[in-house]
Structure 1
Amino acid sequence: YKIDAKMQELGEDMVKHCAGLPLAIIILGGILATRYPSLTEWLKVSANVKSYLNNDKGEVLRDVLALSFDDLPPYLRPCFLYLSHFPEDYEIPADRLIQLWVAEGIVSSKQEEGDEGQIAEDVAEGYLLELAERCMIQVRERDIATLKIRSFQMHDLMRDVCLSKAKQQKFLYIADHSNECQLSTIGRVRRVSAHKFFWIQCIKSPRLRSLLLFDELLPNEEWENILPLTMISYFENRREESVNALDCFVGVLIISVIVTKIRGIWKYMFNNFNFLRVLYYEGGGDGGCKLPNDIGKLIHLRFLGLRGLKFLCTKLPSSLGNLRCLQTLDLRIESLCFNPIHVPNVLWRMQQLRHLYLPEECNRKTKLKLGTLRNLQTLVNFNTKNCYVKDLINMTSIRELEIRGPFNIEDCNTKELDKNPPIIQSKYLHSLSIINEEGIIDPRHLAHLLLSCENISKLSLDVEIRRLPEYHYLSSNLAYIKLRRCKLEEDPMPTLAELPYLSMLELHEKAFIGKEMFCSGQAFAKLEYLSLRWLNFLEEWKLSEGAMPCLRRLEIENCRQLKMLPDGLRFIANLQELKIESMPKTFKDKGEEGGEDFCKVRHVPSIIFQNCEW
């Protein structure tokens, strides 16, 4: 937009008040960016700047940061304060934060039922984008297909402001060893975040609503404080000696003491925090013998995250079915004995569930009915061994689907695929991922599944399929494709080249097992990034003039049979970076200045060679 002379003068005057501090200028720019570009609006900001920034240079930055918070609209303030839950320098996953906002009710139902008909997650995504536009968060990663924020961090000084404001407003309590005694005297704490270990039994607030844990339930360094000194000294004295029966007995005693302590932590949580809405566990580590049945008492839970916890017993309690208010459930737990996890068939009761993350591997007795979960937006680690493929059609709001393990369609008409009923009827599905490290998926079943995914923009296949489905089975909206271990026998390039919006393509680790790839003229019109890794059989890659005109980054790694760079690279004027890694020295020599392939890439500003010395 156009800025007249008076506004420019006003802007320069405000910048002077920032005392030349880059962060202060950036934050001020973020404030102005959210205002309508009129002289009246800028005058209001200028008045605030002058009222805030009347101190010496050392206070200017703090005052600008305070102004950025005070300038927030009411609906954004709790969203910003919520960021104080996370540890310093923590890279915050955007999807997880949005799920927490929704679970806490920070995105209200009125906003969810607004005129535009946006669901709560979309509203929250808009809030996050607004914080980014105000330069209150620093974006670290964006979605490769949609460019939406995937993760972000906070500047240390901005985080200090966030912590200070959260403390002033008693928004939350950050607990650790140093203040756990103080916490035990506070009876009305609503939110607790533990960046380091502390004894949860110190929390005496029965109306606690949210508990976020970023360290282990019982870290190894705490064992010395709970184990009898005789046990510790016994093993210290026997470090150099061979194991005997007494060692095993003492080891079992130690394990029983630790398991009992951890069970006590779980029991205290489940029996004393009956109003808990959020239980977020991010620390990994030992979860004890098993998840106690008492978890079923937390009937107000909206968010339950147990990812990374390791249990001796791999059977989850059926009392999970009592948690009917759950919106997000993350069951990606692990077994200390490396056994598959058993999930009871109770998840169908959680009809408000929006995001479900199943264990990576469930045992053969697990068989889940999920057809009642009509509000589900995210489903991770689905497979047809432990779930029913027919349930997918009821999930009309599904946006992200990850299949891990076998995927077979019963009674599938493989001769006339279009005669089969659709598998998915959600028009919102934008991401499909299939992972199967052991088996093979029938390419006809895959083709039928893809036929139901007409709007997806991201496709990741990490499974043996041998043959890529024909072009008309693929969504024309695909912007990102990753193929890994597919063992394609025919060149996939002619099929993929026709996708009109494909901007990123990754072919990794036996994605293609043929010897020759060919990209004809006018192919891959929008492709900007191409990665070829561990294609062990690829010997020749041909690239015609006019192919990949928008390519900006090309990576070739460990394709050790590839003889030379394609001639067509010389015609790609937009190519900015060529990275060649773990290739034979002869290949590197050809691509360097003076080599026979250098004329093909001499126009590329950045050519990187790594580990090509052998």
Structure 2
Amino acid sequence: MDTVGSTNDRFMHTLETNPEYDSLRGLFGWMYSYFRNCPDSLKPCIFYMSLFPRGQSVRRRRVVRRWVAEGYSRDSEDKSAEQNGEKFFSNLLDLSIIQYPPQVVTATSGDRMMISCSVNGFIREYIVSRRMEENLVFELEGSCDITTQRTGRHLIIRESWDRDKIVFETMDFSKLRSLTVFGRWKQFLVSESMKLLRVLDLEDSSGVEDADLGHMLKQLRRLKFLSLRGCGEIQHLPSSLGDLRQLQTLDIRHTSIVKLPGSITKLHKLQYIRAGTSVKAHESSTPCVSVPKLDRRRCQDGVMVPGRINKLTALHTLGVVNISTSGGNSILKELKDLTQLRKLGVSGINRRNSEKFSSAISGHVHLESLSVQLDKDSGIVLPSKTLQSLKLHGPVEKLPVLNIGELSKLTKLDLEMATLTENDIKLVDSLPQLCTLRVKLLQDSRLKFCITDSGSGLELPSYQKVKVLEIASCSSLDVTFGANTMRSLELLNAQCGSGSSVTFSGLENPTELKVVSLEGCCSDELKEEVERQLAQHPKNPVLKVEEAPVST
């Protein structure tokens, strides 16, 4: 076992130097040339990917926003730093340095529908073996001895590290630009000597509390990227947040924070705010499913924002903002001034404020993604011709008015409703570029994806460009595919909550179907029936089953 451990620790060194592996020399020569010929602007991004654990998926947006904060991706004459970062990300995909997760499809426009990625395992080991040559990255894991050699620009604290304070306090942080913590947080992990720190990434770290946050912000005044995503024990942001005048990215998604402090309006360089909480269908906060593991504070729809939020004119991503709270009408007026917004999420839209909300976003010519949580019997008008992604969530019984001519670029539609009527299905079918459709229904329903000609009664081709269909149910749901519907469908995902049920018919009709994925509380009868139908499919799609986690 000692030999195995030593080989794992020096995997690439062993392959390159041990005579037993001389046959691999050509491969390593090719890899050296491969990296050497990469554009200089891309090389830092390649080495950066080794910061994330082996075999773990990482969100695309997290990577890109970190590159922007680090200065690896900068503004150019015709593109923003984030747009250039997205281009770098695509380049790494093309080079196979990062990989698609399972079940990724290609949109009709050629764009890959990807939220997360993973680093190619072999290439990651090669990167790790080279990064130490430049003192770029150092990490703490297991039980570490005191050494003066731990220094660099990026510090990674692995979940396995024993949190030895003495080891930590002997380290040199004078060149440190980023700190990433996996696992347990300890207050001593922030040091006064981290004066140049740009990135503090605590996503999904445990044990981070309000007092810890106040301690951090007093010492890390040069932060450009702050992620507390998934730190559920944090309930408040301190007013000292306003002292982070260089801050560009603030991610507090899936925390217990329900209100942003007034001092946030001092952060004129802030571009990206993500807040609020969302859960999967089988973890839903709707009455049909209990969620004992989620604190009630975390089941809120959005956060309250302070007045004068319109001073943050650099914002291009904002959400989720709760409009139904006191001062909501003032926030809607200020929303008009945030004309650079590309992605917006709001909750609390009702009959009293829906018209004002529609007016507030009418001039947002850059808006590409919109998420709206509707109260019952409310509706909105969507005037933006630039929308590519739309989410409409709420206990409404019919779709709001969709002007199809104004939604000609829409490729993703996410609906959560009481039910979806036959007219709604026809309306959605008329979206010309729709590629991804997500539907969650709260009442007993039938989804019949089949459009017939009113004169002849013959079935018409429908949903011809849809490649991803995700369905969730809180009750009983019957899904039928017509003979001429969803011929391009590649991925079908069904999520079942506790006490709900889903049935399918016509699964042989989507001729390009590759994967059927069942998640949550799916019965044995459903699995057997899906297997029977897929056995009749000409391309033998794969069935994947992911059981819901058992509550304790």
TM-score range, shorter chain: 0.7 to 0.9
349, 354, 361: which is aligned to 1:407? 349
Which residue identity lines up with residue 182 of structure 2 in the other structure? F
Q: Deviations over 1:62-82 (max 9, x none)?
A: 332222222222111111121
Change (3 A) 1:535 1:496: farther
Between the aligned partners of 1:374 and 1:93, the Cα distance in structure 2 is 26
Between the aligned partners of 1:517 and 1:74, the Cα distance in structure 2 is 50
Aligned residues: 478
Which residue identity lines up with residue 106 of structure 1 in the other structure? Y
RMSD after superposition? 3.9
Change (3 A) 1:216 1:495: same
1:346 to partner: Cα distance:
1.5
1:105 to partner: Cα distance:
0.8
The 3-state SS of whatever aligns with 2:359 is coil
Instruction: Report what 1:98 is aligned to.
Output: 64
1:381 to partner: Cα distance:
2.1
Between the aligned partners of 1:284 and 1:272, the Cα distance in structure 2 is 22
Instruction: Report what 2:365 is aligned to.
Output: 427
Q: Deviations over 1:415-436 (max 9, x none)?
A: xx9xx63425333332223357
Preserved CA contact (<8 Å) 2:481 2:509 = no
Instruction: Report what 2:385 is aligned to.
Output: 454
166, 170, 190: which is aligned to 2:135? 170
Q: Deviations over 1:347-378 (max 9, x none)?
A: 11111112112244689995423212222222
1:498 to partner: Cα distance:
0.8
Between the aligned partners of 2:361 and 2:390, the Cα distance in structure 1 is 16
Change (3 A) 1:94 1:202: farther
510, 519, 526: which is aligned to 2:442? 510
Give me the identity figure in percent: 22
2:153 is the counterpart of 1:190: yes
Pairs within 5 Å for 1:58-457: 58-108=24-74, 112-114=75-77, 117-140=78-101, 146-147=111-112, 149-176=114-141, 178-179=143-144, 181-183=146-148, 189-196=152-159, 197=161, 198=163, 199=165, 200-218=168-186, 262=187, 265=188, 268-269=190-191, 271-288=192-209, 290=211, 291-292=213-214, 295-311=217-233, 314-332=235-253, 334-335=255-256, 341-360=258-277, 366-369=304-307, 370-385=309-324, 388-403=331-346, 405-408=347-350, 413=355, 421-435=359-373, 440-444=375-379, 447-448=380-381, 450-451=382-383, 453-457=384-388
User: What TM-score do the two structures reach when normalised by structure 1?
Assistant: 0.67
Instruction: Report what 2:505 is aligned to.
Output: 565
1:106 to partner: Cα distance:
1.3
Change (3 A) 1:58 1:586: closer
Q: Deviations over 1:290-336 (max 9, x none)?
A: 2225614422111111222244x73321010011111111123645x
Change (3 A) 1:587 1:122: closer
Instruction: Report what 1:464 is aligned to.
Output: 395
Which residue identity lines up with residue 373 of structure 1 in the other structure? L
1:527 to partner: Cα distance:
2.6
Preserved CA contact (<8 Å) 1:588 1:609 = no
Q: Deviations over 1:525-553 (max 9, x none)?
A: 3233444443745568573x644443445
Between the aligned partners of 1:365 and 1:536, the Cα distance in structure 2 is 29
Q: Which protein is richer in helix relative to its size? A: 1
* Greater Rg over alpha carbons, structure: 1
518-527 vs 162-171, which deviates more? Answer: 518-527
Between the aligned partners of 1:529 and 1:74, the Cα distance in structure 2 is 36
Preserved CA contact (<8 Å) 2:340 2:366 = yes
Q: Deviations over 1:468-510 (max 9, x none)?
A: 0234166222222222344345642111111111123232343
Between the aligned partners of 2:401 and 2:480, the Cα distance in structure 1 is 21
Preserved CA contact (<8 Å) 1:443 1:468 = no
Preserved CA contact (<8 Å) 1:174 1:194 = yes
Between the aligned partners of 2:359 and 2:28, the Cα distance in structure 1 is 61
Which residue identity lines up with residue 65 of structure 2 in the other structure? Q
Instruction: Report what 1:30 is aligned to.
Output: none
Q: Deviations over 1:21-55 (max 9, x none)?
A: xxxxxxxxxxxxxxxxxxxxxxxxxxxxxxxxxx9
The 3-state SS of whatever aligns with 1:153 is strand
**Structure 2, unaligned runs of 5 or more:** 1-20, 278-296, 453-459, 547-552
**Structure 1, unaligned runs of 5 or more:** 1-54, 219-261
The 3-state SS of whatever aligns with 2:54 is coil
